[in-house]
Each structure stands twice: as C-alpha cells, then as structure tokens.
Amino acid sequence: MLYLDGSQGEGGGQIVRTALTLSAITGVPVRIERIRAGRQTPGLRAQHVTAIQAAATICAAHTEGVEVGAEAITFAPGGPVRPGRYEWAVGTAGAVTLVLQTVLLPLALAPGPSRVRVRGGTHVPLSPSAHYLRDVYLPFLWGLGAEMTLTIEAFGWMPEGGGAVSVEIAGGAHLQGVDMRQRGPLERIFGTALGCNLPAHIPQRMANRAINLLAGRDALVDIRPQRVTGLSTGAGIFLAAEYANGRGGCGVLGRKGMPSEVVAQKAVTELLAFDRSGAAVDEHLADQIVVPLALAEGPSWYTTPTVTSHLATNIAVVRAFLDRVLSVDERTGLVSIL
C-alpha cells in the first residue's frame, strides 16, 4: 500500500486524480490522507467522488471513505483496466473534464476500445474547459500514440451544470516520448466564442474582438462564434495555438457586467503572453502531460513558461509510483523525464 499526503504541494484534488490514474494503471493500491486539508472546504467535492467512482469502475477497485467531505480514502485495484462503455454523472456543475482526465489514460492503455460519457459542468471555473480538453490536451495525446475523439454533446455552466461530453478511445496505445525543447514556428490560432442561452451578438462580438487583436499574425487565425442552448446560461472564449512542435491554449469565462470585448481581450492577452514565452506548452498542459510522458517509452523533454505548484505536485506523485527520473530546471522551464 502506497501512502500519500493529500495536502502536499498544490494540495487540491489533483493529487487524488493523478494517484487514481497511476493506481489503476500499475495496480498499486494507495491510501490518501489529509485530502484538500488547506482548502476553505476540506475533503472531497462532488467531482472528486465521481472521479474515484469512475476509476474504481474501470479496474474493479475496492474503495473506502469515498463520500463528499471525506479527507482520507483507500483505493485498491481489483484487476487490470477493462475497456468498455461507461457513463457517469457528477450531479452538479462539477467539472466533467477532471473526471475524464482521471480515466482517459488507463482506458487508452487498455487492450480494447472504450466509450466514456460524463455529465456535469463543461465550462466552469478552476478547471480545464471541454474545449481545452478537445483542442489542446487530446491532440497532445494523439501525438504520443493515444487515439481519442471528444464530442461536446451539451454545454454545462455554473450553477446548474447540465452538460455532457463523450470520448471515443481506441485503446491499445503504445505511448512514445517526445523532444519538445524547441517548439518551432506558430502555425495557427483557432478557437470558439461561445454563448449559451444568450443573444447571437455576444459570441459574435467576442470573436470579432479576438480576430482584430490577432490581426497581422504570421499564421492562420480561425475563431468562430457559436450560439447554443442549454440548462445553464454562460459565455466564454476558448483559444488554442498550434506550433510545429508545441501547443497551448486558454479560456476566459464571461460574467455579468463584463463586456464581450473585455472577455475576448483577456483571453488574447493570455495567449500572446504564452506565445512570447517561447515555451513549447502552456503552464496548464505542462502539469497535465507529466503522467502520459512518464508512462511513455523513451525519454521526453519539454519547456513551460512557468513551473507551477501543480506541475511540482504531479511530478512528486509520479515519482511515488514509477521508476522514472524527473527533473525541472526552474530557470529555463525545461522538464526532463528520463
């Protein structure tokens, strides 16, 4: 049994999700204590409970202490990960993307195809959006050798949720390491300006402002407005940048009283800051790809604009499970996995 302190490093739900992913893949049971101990509301939230239940389902794990508010859990896989058709519901506007990121890699490495559907929040604060998962994270996994396709079936915002995302996973992946010490030239910037249960002029204004701010870039710029309906009302713009050997993205959610043009400007400012950094991946992708690269065959290198606590936390959890040498150069932002 591996024991982890859930309050270490970033101190949030990431330790739990990363540990579940690696436990399911390696078969090593894990006990996590002091979960989110330093947060205003310590213990598991609804999306964490759903992620644990999802991980347990795919590997027939025995679990203890899995309930909202719990500050300690035990997770013991009962066998290898089983491909299949799965569906889970967070039950709130909790992020479906965080549930998906817990199970995608185990199912990608499983010996057959799977289909996963998760219901809840698709575009909510403090989590990657469904667009980020589709346009940034999954294409990176494709490059490693894990074939997946994500469909946003319904859009879920705070506070009601009501969104749904499905992912088709080929399975049988053989991940290969990457050398992303140089990202190469910018090839395109693309994205979606989204308005749900709102007038069409709102996403159109966001898209227009972003396109104007990005005018003159030596790359294709393709940002499209989209008006949808759903259980919840919401808006935002979600951008991605593709380089010859790199990728990044960002998103900004709208809120009451914030003009559409300001929402777009915030997103473009963040994307251009990443572009100026020269790093191969953005700071969020930097921590999300530690696990797949640690599971890949061969060494990997990549650069990030910022060494975040999330990145350091994921590296610490990977070291507990896997015999890989991981290091980060704080000065240059170079991450090495040997």
Active-site annotation, residues? 310
Name which of 45, 80, 50, 46 is nearest 63 in CA terms: 50
Task: Kindly state the tokens that stand for 188.
Answer: 């395109």
CB atoms under 10 Å from CB of 30, counted, come to 24
Task: Kindly state the tokens that stand for 57.
Answer: 């389902």
Beta carbons of 308 and 286 less than 8 angstroms apart: yes
HSE at residue 15, side-chain half, CA atoms within 13 A, is: 28
- Distance, in Å, from the CA atom of 167 to the CA atom of 103, rounded to the nearest integer, reads 11
| Residues constituting the chain | 338
Beta carbons of 190 and 250 less than 8 angstroms apart: no
CA–chain centroid gap for 260, Å, is: 25
Task: Kindly state the tokens that stand for 231.
Answer: 């259980």
CB atoms under 10 Å from CB of 132, counted, come to 24
- Distance, in Å, from the CA atom of 94 to the CA atom of 18, rounded to the nearest integer, reads 18
Beta carbons of 302 and 280 less than 8 angstroms apart: yes
Task: Kindly state the tokens that stand for 289.
Answer: 């790809």
DSSP 134: I
- Distance, in Å, from the CA atom of 94 to the CA atom of 91, rounded to the nearest integer, reads 8
Beta carbons of 121 and 93 less than 8 angstroms apart: yes
- Distance, in Å, from the CA atom of 133 to the CA atom of 131, rounded to the nearest integer, reads 5
